[in-house]
Structure 1
């Protein structure tokens, strides 16, 4: 994956019989934030030391000894995605080991979410990187967080233009992909005004969380 700087987290049970889900699910986040003020982010020189950033973030989320406000974003999403499950430490581990997670922007977007407005989501490198990840992971569903990422996902993943879902025209597209399909669901970013009950219904209706 030559255009991917931050490699995706791939749960140990993603796409296996041990997964919580029948579907292969790629959760598509927005961006990483970094306080190191590194001007080489995204460069070949930094690839080796920074490529595991996404995996490190998910591992930090799953570590109960680490407390941080940003962890609420992951928990909010999980609480609407997994219905009828006790959301303790073990259920969090089970969920995130069953999915893949990847952030769209392939450079750190400043130190907080307010700075993402300065980044070009239409950069063709990011689009190429996403297609590389999709080619590698072969997901059945992609769940994108936030409008910026939803708008940036290419109209064609290499096998024809998407069509709008008849069930949820405002938030779901269906892409032809090889001999199958990939459904893209665009949700409100879980760090903002995310309505858990609404999105829980969407996931169930589309059978994304089977």
Structure 2
């Protein structure tokens, strides 16, 4: 069993997580938090009494999922999560077919006072950041799915991204980004809304499956012709010479976005690209990563 320095609520690690995984990948699902006020049974819920406060142990996450695996129905949260991430293959299957294949971890490491839909404080999120990085190191996932908008600002900085995976309309999409661990491995991450929200569409299931199953290490955007990619690669490779003649390099994206690279674009060995519309900055490790993400010179 892993020994943690910062983690209190230890993650659920399915018995097949390290071997079979989900579609051959080690998938870590990240939820938001645990609440410490709830009814333990239906009779208490029907009694009209206030929800009692409970003391939660380190194994509370594991206890909750094991109960689902053992046949308890549990909150709708768990069913929605399984149906979307597991897709059609697991929607009609028992919970015991899905949860042994994945790992699950709640980001916030102290109980949230109150019942469901009470938000953790900013301090709770900030104080849990080191624990999340520790879990990434210990579990070494291939894919991470973060389920909840409130967590997004507290997820560690990513070093690169691919174009969003798009569904049937402009509202059905998920981002594709990645960390690089100390050994050079890319850990791919996507972030979505909470599983009980109206934005956790059923159509996301197909995108989750594509996110998990795709070999992103060898993925390349195919929107641009080869000649334009070659010219972009040459321009980026000679960026030091190019920027002596102009203050910045202009790039365009297949989704009709535009960006620039300034004179100081190469920082710590990464290309730093700034989106003209949003001013968001994204770094890429080399010219091929920029091109693969859908960017070419304008």
Question: Shorter-chain TM-score category?
Answer: 0.7 to 0.9
Is 1:127–1:152's contact at 8 Å kept on the other side of the alignment? Answer: yes
Give 1:87 deviation, angstroms.
3.4
Deviation at 1:163, TM superposition (A): 1.7
Tell me which residue corresponds to 1:11.
Answer: 14
Q: Report the 3-state secondary structure (helix = DSSP H, G, I; strand = E; otherwise coil) of the residue aligned with 1:95.
A: helix
User: What is the CA distance between 1:170 and its match in structure 2?
Assistant: 5.9
Are the aligned partners of 1:145 and 1:188 in contact in 2 as well (CA < 8 Å)? yes
TM-score with structure 1 setting the length: 0.79
> In the alignment, is the contact (CA less than 8 A) between 1:82 and 1:209 conserved in 2?
no
For the 8 Å contact 1:23–1:209, the answer to whether it is kept is: no
Q: Could you say what the CA RMSD is over the residues aligned between the two structures, in angstroms?
A: 2.5
List alignment gaps of at least 5 residues for structure 1.
42-48, 156-160
User: Would you say the 8 A contact 2:86–2:209 is kept in 1?
Assistant: no
> 1:26·1:141 contact (CA, 8 Å) conserved in 2?
yes
Aligned to 1:173, what secondary structure does the other structure show? strand
Which residue does the alignment assign to 1:46? none
| Contact 1:31/1:108 (<8 A) preserved | yes
Select the structure that is richer in strand. 2
Q: Of the two, which has the highest radius of gyration?
A: 2
User: 1:184 corresponds to which residue?
Assistant: 189
Which fold has the larger relative contact order, with Cα–Cα distance below 8 Å and residues 6 or more apart in sequence?
1
After superposition, give the CA deviation of every residue in 1:145-172 in whole Å (9 maximum; x if it has no partner): 11111221111xxxxx422322348633
Query: Matches of 2:36 and 2:155 in 1, distance apart?
Result: 24
What is the number of residues matched between the two proteins?
A: 190
Aligned to 2:239: none
Please name the residue that 1:106 is paired with: 109
Q: Structure 2: where are the runs of 5+ without partners? A: 38-51, 166-172, 216-298
**Residues 1:23 and 2:38 aligned together:** no
Counterpart residue number, 2:99: 96
